[in-house]
């Protein structure tokens, strides 16, 4: 089977800075792939290239074997790529349920577009949308919080809600940018189980940027290491952890949060 996502030799330059250089990486269906590297290595830029915020100056981004270089961000969401952000970007003033329902606008399976246009199915679909949103909320044990404003949730729950919001778009591929940032060890463990469960129950693929080594090494099928925009190592967590280059990259930069 062809990979779900394939980055073929992609590069992007900002002025004189090569933020990503000749990067190739594949993500198979139902695979969790870790993307690690020191601060400024180019990890978030890779997400911006996959989601169409930026276009590569060279190389191609392939999704389900299709070159999507020319697709706009919302078209990529339609195709099945969704992300979370390094700094949480929920609609803070909206309720938990509204955050989910808004994301479902992208979900072709649910057909919310016709309801937005007030076609005859409007009322029936509105009920379906609410029902589906509740199912998502039940999945993360947040049904009782459905009418809370997102900003009032505890931090860890906001992070989980952001992941479920990405799932609610109907995405096959989830890009998670440092989902454990700011979490305590207990929340991080819970998050780790949650990501693994999402992959297993919902058959999603995940590209995971994370500085928490326990998390990324604990659930990834493979890990790629970026340094100055280049992939220096790729392999199974056990191989990457003991790789000399990787150890030097982290220790050499005194990057505290990357060592834990
Ligand atoms: N739009 C832009 N214009 C100019 N430089 C940029 C732009 N976006 C990113 N960069 C630069 O590209 C490099 C990679 O940044 P990026 O945000 O991808 O790093 P990162 O690996 O996600 O780091 P962190 O772990 O701190 O989040 C950095 O030097 C950054 O300053
Ligand atoms: Mg980043």
Q: What is the CATH number of the domain that holds 127?
A: 3.40.50.300
In this prediction, residue 221 carries a pLDDT of: 98
Nearest CA to ligand 1 atom 31: 40
Q: Which of 198, 92, 194 is nearest to 151 (CA)?
A: 92
For the whole model, what pTM was predicted?
A: 0.91
- Residue 175's DSSP bridge partners are 83, 207
Range of the domain at 96: 5-259
- Helix extents (H) in 4-95: 43-51, 73-79
Q: Give the residue carrying structure tokens 């949480």.
A: 88
Average pLDDT, the chain: 89
Distance 45 CA to ligand 1 centre (A): 6
Whether pLDDT at 126 is above 80: no
Q: Is 257 in the pocket of ligand 1 (CB under 6 A)?
A: no
Q: Is 37 in the pocket of ligand 1 (CB under 6 A)?
A: yes
Nearest CA to ligand 1 atom 7: 14
* Ligand 1 closest atom vs CA 37: 21
Report yes or no: 256 and 38 within 8 Å, Cβ to Cβ. Answer: no
* Ligand 1 closest atom vs CA 47: 18
Tens digit of pLDDT for each residue in 48-95? Answer: 999 999 999 999 999 999 999 999 999 999 999 999 998 888 999 999
In this prediction, residue 255 carries a pLDDT of: 46
Tokens representing 146? 């459905």
Mean pLDDT of 2-28: 96
- Banded pLDDT at 258 (limits 50, 70, 90): very low
What total number of domains does the chain contain?
1
Using most ligand atoms within 8 A of CB, pick from 34, 41, 257 the residue to mutate for ligand 1: 41
Distance 104 CA to ligand 1 centre (A): 30
- Banded pLDDT at 117 (limits 50, 70, 90): low
Nearest CA to ligand 1 atom 25: 39
């Amino acid at each position: 089977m062809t990979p779900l996502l394939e980055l073929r030799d992609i590069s992007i330059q900002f002025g004189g800075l090569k933020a990503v250089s000749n990067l190739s990486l594949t993500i198979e269906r139902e695979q969790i792939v870790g993307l690690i590297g020191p601060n400024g290595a180019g990890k978030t830029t890779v997400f911006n290239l996959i989601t169409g915020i930026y276009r590569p100056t060279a190389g191609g981004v392939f999704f389900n074997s299709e070159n999507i270089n020319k697709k706009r961000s919302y078209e990529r969401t339609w195709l099945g790529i969704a992300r979370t952000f390094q700094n949480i970007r929920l609609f803070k003033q909206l309720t938990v349920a509204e955050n989910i329902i808004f994301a479902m606008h992208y979900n072709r399976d649910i057909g919310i577009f016709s309801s937005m246009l007030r076609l005859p199915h409007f009322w029936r679909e509105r009920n379906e949308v609410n029902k589906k949103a509740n199912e998502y909320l039940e999945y993360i044990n947040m049904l009782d919080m459905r009418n809370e404003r997102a900003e009032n949730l505890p931090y860890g729950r906001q992070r989980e809600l952001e992941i479920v919001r990405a799932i609610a778009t109907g995405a096959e591929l989830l890009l998670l940018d440092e989902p454990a940032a700011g979490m305590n060890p207990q929340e991080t463990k819970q998050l780790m189980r949650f990501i693994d469960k999402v992959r297993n129950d919902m058959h999603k693929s995940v590209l995971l940027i994370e500085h928490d080594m326990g998390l990324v090494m604990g659930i990834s099928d493979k890990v790629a290491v970026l340094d100055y925009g280049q992939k220096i190592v790729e392999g199974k967590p056990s191989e990457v952890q003991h790789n000399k280059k990787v150890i030097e990259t982290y220790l050499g930069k005194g990057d505290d949060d990357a060592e834990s």
